[in-house]
């Protein structure tokens, strides 16, 4: 019997271009995975619309509907479990996961960040702020990082990184655009490596096993 594709539970807060790239790769057969459910803390996130259009279950879990962070995260966890997600993919998800959720999916949560971690990351570093910080610092190279998620922000073992040159006339917007093109490729590559069982975590290092 053919192996079942890896089931992804994707958490989003915004426009969902990374989600779109993952769905497109999966549909084209370039990724041995299927998006099982998309969950958003933002009910009108465009990412949910993208999922619905693709016929994928899309659920809004607004934070304000829950008394505390733990209850809110438990609701998300329930959706991930009921859709039998094997891997949780954070794709522009702006909230910090509860320890319970991280523990429940230990070693099975990925995030993407639009810089070369450990530069320009951590709490509050998201969106245009990341790219503006890179420009303000004057780095010549920025990029993208896909990493496993631990009980802290942007600190888990790094799976893949891609460098993106910074041009003299870059604005936060133009740099973000160029980094985003890389994001759309590298996230699916990381998920594919996970699907193939080729990611071996040794402390902070993630070794990529041969195919
Ligand atoms: C991306 O830049 C990603 O690296 C960061 O949030 C942004 C999400 O963009 N975590 P999109 O919603 O996938 O278009």
Ligand 1 pocket, mutate which of 88, 134, 156, 180 (most atoms under 8 A from CB): 180
Q: Are residues 118 and 195 in the same domain?
A: yes
Structural domain range at position 165? 112-211
Q: Are residues 74 and 135 in the same domain?
A: no
Instruction: Locate the ligand 1 atom nearest the alpha carbon of residue 12 and give its number.
Output: 12
pLDDT of residue 167: 98
What span, in angstroms and rounded, lies between the C-alpha atoms of 82 and 66? 19
pTM value > 0.75: yes
Q: How far is CA 13 from CA 10, 25, 70, 156, in A?
A: 10, 21, 18, 21
pLDDT of residue 2: 63
CB 108 within 8 A of CB 84: no
pLDDT of residue 1: 57
- From the list 25, 113, 126, 147, the catalytic residue is 113
Q: Are residues 84 and 185 in the same domain?
A: no
pLDDT of residue 206: 98
CB 47 within 8 A of CB 59: no
**Successive 10-residue mean pLDDT values, the chain, 211 residues:** 87 98 97 98 98 98 97 98 98 96 98 97 94 98 97 91 98 98 98 98 97 93
Q: Which of 106, 139, 156 is the last residue of a domain?
A: 106
Instruction: Locate the ligand 1 atom nearest the alpha carbon of residue 111 and give its number.
Output: 10
What span, in angstroms and rounded, lies between the C-alpha atoms of 34 and 104? 20
Q: Is 113 a catalytic residue?
A: yes
Q: Are residues 153 and 209 in the same domain?
A: yes
Q: Which of 74, 106, 138 is the last residue of a domain?
A: 106
Residue with tokens 């958003």, as numbered in its chain: 40
Q: Which of 77, 106, 135 is the last residue of a domain?
A: 106
The closest of 172, 189, 10, 173 to 87, measured between CA atoms, is 10
């Amino acid at each position: 019997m053919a192996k079942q594709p890896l089931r992804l539970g994707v958490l989003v807060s915004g426009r969902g271009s990374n989600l779109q790239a993952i769905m497109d790769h999966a549909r084209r057969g370039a990724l041995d995975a299927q998006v099982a459910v998309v969950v958003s803390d933002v009910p009108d996130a465009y990412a949910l619309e993208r999922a619905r259009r693709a016929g994928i279950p899309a659920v809004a879990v607004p934070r304000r509907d829950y008394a505390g962070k733990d209850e809110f995260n438990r609701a998300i966890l329930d959706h991930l479990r009921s859709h039998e997600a094997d891997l949780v993919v954070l794709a522009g998800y702006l909230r910090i996961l509860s320890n319970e959720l991280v523990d429940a999916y230990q070693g099975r949560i990925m995030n993407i960040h639009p810089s070369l971690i450990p530069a320009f990351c951590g709490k509050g570093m998201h969106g245009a702020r990341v790219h503006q910080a890179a420009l303000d610092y004057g780095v010549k190279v920025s990029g993208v990082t896909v990493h496993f998620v631990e009980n802290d922000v942007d600190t888990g073992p790094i799976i893949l990184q891609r460098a993106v040159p910074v041009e003299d006339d870059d604005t936060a917007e133009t740099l973000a655009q160029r980094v985003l093109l890389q994001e759309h490729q590298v996230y699916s590559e990381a998920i594919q490596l996970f699907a193939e069982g080729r990611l071996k975590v040794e402390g902070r290092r993630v070794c990529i096993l041969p195919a």
